[in-house]
Amino acid sequence: MNDRALDVVECLLTARLYDRHTNLDENDLPPAIRMAIWSGDGVSRPPRLDEDDVAEASGIEDPWAEISGQMFTERDTFSGQLSFTDDEMAIEWYAERADDERVQANPVLAYHFQDDDRFAVDYEAARAENRPVQADPQWIDGLLHEYFDEEDEEMLDLVDVRAPAEIEVTLDDLVLTEEQETEVTKVAKAIEHRDYLAEIGLREIGKLLFVGPPGTGKTSTARGLAHQLDLPFVEVKLSMITSQYLGETAKNVEKVFEVAKRLSPCILFIDEFDFVAKTRTSDEHAAIKRAVNTLLKSIDEISLIRDDVLLIGATNHPDELDTAAWRRFDEILNFPRPDEGMRADILRLVTERLDIAEFDPEAVAAETEGLTGSDLRLVLREAVLEALVSDRRELTQQDLLDAVEEFEERDHLRNLDTLDAALEGDDHDHDHAATH
């Protein structure tokens, strides 16, 4: 017997026991199994798993090959459906081989075995730890289909909607400042207790503005928060909803907020918030200014407590925002360039899966002043590729230091290009002025 056979039997047993215990619902199914057998708007009873379903749920390419030798399994050669010939024999076979940790990770099995002396498991805890169905892509797709008909589809073109399960970055993948960690905890508690906050009349909460240079983790933190809180992530870049047609930009702003309200509870992430400042202080057409006023009004009217929408804005240029924009947010969260200690922590995090001889993250961090987390990932990329050129998969400390130097040289060239372009622009302005 191997773990692959146990994984396959677990998939089939989960489906069988889910059907038997009719008081269980889709939130009791482990996400991988739930997504594999999702049909239409839910999981039907009895769930039927064919070889493709089990392969998707377990990650095992040929599941039948793993269990074909068991007396209690069978396969329909026409449909490819896998099932048990004897449920009790399958249950006993599984119980003899599984441990507490495996059963605890599956609410359906934890429920079935909670009174079995062979296991010390807690069904309620297992269900609480299980990712809810609302985080699955199929659930979000169902909501989009239900709430947006053909006439509304253009609204979805303005945003990027992601299910929590589709978000790869987690908060554990990030190195946050103490202030950032504290605010993330507060937001999580506010969402958990939003009924209480509504009861006591505390509504000025749930509107955050992330400020800081590019590459410091603003977008990643917002996405990681969506992943942790199991909330759909609705992302929009303000520059992408501007329209050449008068009045359309203001309508687009309204549509974005309408999407968030329909998908609530969710996170609405508005990137490039400095777009507000650029239009409010410029000589742009009045229609654009109306769009900005529409945005500010929409922010005023959206509420975490009333609408179940957590609003997060992000900007690389906080200095360009005026008071009217700042006061819309109840919390301003700074994302500075990481200090030396944070850079060392980031390096430890991004190199976890690498083999590095005599790795000294503090020494590398000391050579990377001014670099962001995004920059450090590019440094690592360069070091890995250079090692592969030399047919090596083990990196050295020197590989990383060389990659830092290479990155800084490239960054210097980029700055030179920017400077040259600026100088050329000045020359053009002088030439232009001389012709008048």
Distance in angstroms (rounded) separating the CA atoms of residues 12 and 6: 10
Structure token pair of residue 395: 């990196």
Is the confidence at residue 232, as pLDDT, over 80? yes
If asked whether residues 232 and 202 sit together in one domain, one would say: yes
Instruction: Place 429 in a pLDDT band, splitting at 50, 70 and 90.
Output: very low
SS (H, E, C) 53-77: HHHHHHCCCCHHHHHCCCCCEEECC
If asked whether residues 290 and 160 sit together in one domain, one would say: yes
Candidate from 193-197, 246-250, 308-312, 394-398 with smallest mean pLDDT: 246-250
If asked whether residues 79 and 211 sit together in one domain, one would say: no
If asked whether residues 117 and 144 sit together in one domain, one would say: no
Give the distance, in angstroms, between the CA of residue 213 and the centroid of all CA atoms in the same chain. Answer: 21
Is the confidence at residue 147, as pLDDT, over 70? yes
In percent, the amount of the chain with pLDDT more than 70 equals 89
pLDDT (0 to 100) of residue 65: 95
pLDDT (0 to 100) of residue 409: 83
pLDDT (0 to 100) of residue 243: 67
Q: Which amino acid is residue 140, in one-letter code?
A: I
Nearest Cα residue to 280 out of 249, 236, 247, 321: 321
Residue with tokens 């200095």: 319
Distance in angstroms (rounded) separating the CA atoms of residues 228 and 210: 18
Question: In angstroms, what CA-CA distances link 294 with 74, 235, 251?
Answer: 62, 18, 8
If asked whether residues 109 and 126 sit together in one domain, one would say: yes
In a domain, 433, yes or no: no
pLDDT (0 to 100) of residue 248: 80
If asked whether residues 320 and 381 sit together in one domain, one would say: no
Distance in angstroms (rounded) separating the CA atoms of residues 133 and 183: 26
If asked whether residues 259 and 151 sit together in one domain, one would say: yes
Contact 183, 329 (CB under 8 A): no
Give the distance, in angstroms, between the CA of residue 5 and the centroid of all CA atoms in the same chain. Answer: 32
If asked whether residues 103 and 185 sit together in one domain, one would say: no
Contact 54, 153 (CB under 8 A): no
Q: Which of 276, 308, 334 is the last residue of a domain?
A: 334
- The CATH number linked to 368 is 1.10.8.60
pLDDT (0 to 100) of residue 414: 58
In a domain, 435, yes or no: no
Nearest Cα residue to 106 out of 85, 117, 122: 122
Distance in angstroms (rounded) separating the CA atoms of residues 233 and 237: 13
In a domain, 434, yes or no: no
Distance in angstroms (rounded) separating the CA atoms of residues 83 and 16: 9
In a domain, 29, yes or no: yes
If asked whether residues 271 and 347 sit together in one domain, one would say: no
pLDDT (0 to 100) of residue 290: 80
- Average pLDDT rounded to a whole number, residues 190-211: 87
- Average pLDDT rounded to a whole number, residues 413-436: 47
In a domain, 420, yes or no: yes
Q: Which of 306, 334, 362 is the last residue of a domain?
A: 334
> Residue 355: in which H helix or E strand, if any?
strand 355-357
Is the confidence at residue 433, as pLDDT, over 50? no
Tally of structural domains, the chain: 3
- The CATH number linked to 256 is 3.40.50.300
In a domain, 199, yes or no: yes
Which is more confident, 284 or 407? 407
pLDDT (0 to 100) of residue 204: 76
Tens-place pLDDT, residues 108-119: 999 999 999 999
Is the confidence at residue 435, as pLDDT, over 50? no
pLDDT (0 to 100) of residue 343: 95
Hey, CA dihedral for 367, 373, 379, 384, is it positive or negative? positive
Tens-place pLDDT, residues 251-267: 888 999 999 999 999 99
Candidate from 152-166, 172-186, 260-274, 407-421 with smallest mean pLDDT: 407-421
- Average pLDDT rounded to a whole number, residues 147-159: 85
If asked whether residues 312 and 227 sit together in one domain, one would say: yes
Is the confidence at residue 413, as pLDDT, over 60? no
What value does the mean pLDDT of the chain take?
A: 88
Q: What is the DSSP letter of 223?
A: H
Is the confidence at residue 417, as pLDDT, over 70? no
Tens-place pLDDT, residues 77-102: 999 999 999 999 999 999 999 999 99
pLDDT (0 to 100) of residue 287: 66
Q: Which of 334, 356, 383 is the last residue of a domain?
A: 334
pLDDT (0 to 100) of residue 246: 56
The parent domain of residue 247 ranges over: 135-334
In a domain, 172, yes or no: yes
If asked whether residues 60 and 197 sit together in one domain, one would say: no
In a domain, 436, yes or no: no
Is the confidence at residue 151, as pLDDT, over 80? no
Contact 398, 426 (CB under 8 A): no
If asked whether residues 9 and 63 sit together in one domain, one would say: yes
Tens-place pLDDT, residues 14-68: 999 999 999 999 999 999 999 999 987 789 899 999 999 999 999 999 999 999 9
Q: Is 239 left (phi over 0), alpha (psi -120 to 50) or beta?
A: alpha
pLDDT (0 to 100) of residue 152: 82
